[in-house]
Amino acid sequence: MAMAAGMLAAGAASAGEISLGEDGAPASFAERSPRYRIQSTDELEISFRFTPEFDQKLAVQPDGFISLLDVGDLEVAGMTVEGARSAIAGKYAAILNKPVITVKLTNFNKPQFIVGGEVGKPGKYELTGDVTLSDAVAIAGGFTPRARENEVLLFRRYSKEMVEVKKVNVKQAQHGKFGEDVRLRPGDSVFVPRSKVGEIDRFLSVTRLGLYFPLPGL
């Protein structure tokens, strides 16, 4: 369950960074920001234009923090690179006058997605190129005979603690009927049920993902 939750951190918004549409309502799946979000084990290169003695290369720790020279720890997991740059500049503003900082992501986790449930090969897969929901099912070995192709669940990170759930009729989407074949983003999780899916909340706690993805090592 911990790994399933961790996978959804890719492309995730941190707490307080809630995606809203123009009308102030929660953004749709299509509107959700696709920008890469920093994860543990990513490596950052931080450069100071006017004070190069503060230049540093850091790895994001398993708890999501980095240890900054002279100003202490900062949690950056879940931030975009620009968000991290702004947060780091804020930290150094305590000891430097208007620091001008550049942050580069020098090493990062390859984007991945999870497919579980009634597919031939449930597991975690690398997200390369433009992959739709039906593509993901095919990559995972296709539907089993018991799969409910009309009630596939797509989980996408909404905030640090929550995921958004979308029910998709993949069988019809493949033929352009009743909605498009959703394109995956890093950290998405797909679940193909065996039995009929009843009413499901639009938003679920990340801790509940283990109910859907009892995969080896997840």
**What tens digit of pLDDT does each residue of 24-34 get?**
445 555 455 56
Q: Is residue 190 part of a domain?
A: yes
Q: What is the tens place of the pLDDT at every residue in 170-196?
A: 888 766 665 668 889 888 999 999 988
The whole domain housing 141 covers 111-211
Q: What percent of the chain has pLDDT over 70?
A: 79
**What's the pTM?**
0.62
The reply to whether 13 falls in a domain is no
Domain assignment present for residue 59? The answer is: yes
Pair 103, 121 in one domain: no
Q: Is residue 218 part of a domain?
A: no
Residue spans of alpha helices (H) in the chain: 2-7, 81-92, 133-139, 170-173
User: Between vectors from CA 128 to CA 82 and to CA 206, what angle results, nearest 5°?
Assistant: 65
Domain C-terminal end among 107, 138, 161: 107
Domain annotation covers residue 217 = no
